[in-house]
Amino acid sequence: MTRRSCVCLMKMVLSRLSSATIATQILVLGNGKLIETGTHAELMKKEGVYYELFSAQANRYISEQDNNLDGQQPAKS
């Protein structure tokens, strides 16, 4: 009996980058070109484009949560 291996590829376009943290490989594109690749941990360590985007989104999320605790409405995008 012959065993076949299967390589699966899933493309995801994310608006919430926290969903990418479990990916085994993240590709960061800019102007139609591949500019960074790696796991979440690797890309955060590089402190490049992914790091900047992820950090900005995380900081905004934290800020919105703090505002909600103060009884304020979240900012509209």
Which tens digit of pLDDT belongs to each residue from 17-33?
888 898 889 999 899 89
Tokens, residue 59: 């900081």
What is the reported pTM?
0.68
Instruction: Kindly state the percentage of the chain with pLDDT values over 90.
Output: 39
50, burial (CB in 10 Å: exposed 0-12, middle 13-18, buried 19+)? buried
pLDDT number for residue 76: 58
Which tens digit of pLDDT belongs to each residue from 57-76?
998 888 877 777 666 565 55
- How many other C-beta atoms are found inside a 10 Å radius of the C-beta of residue 43? 20
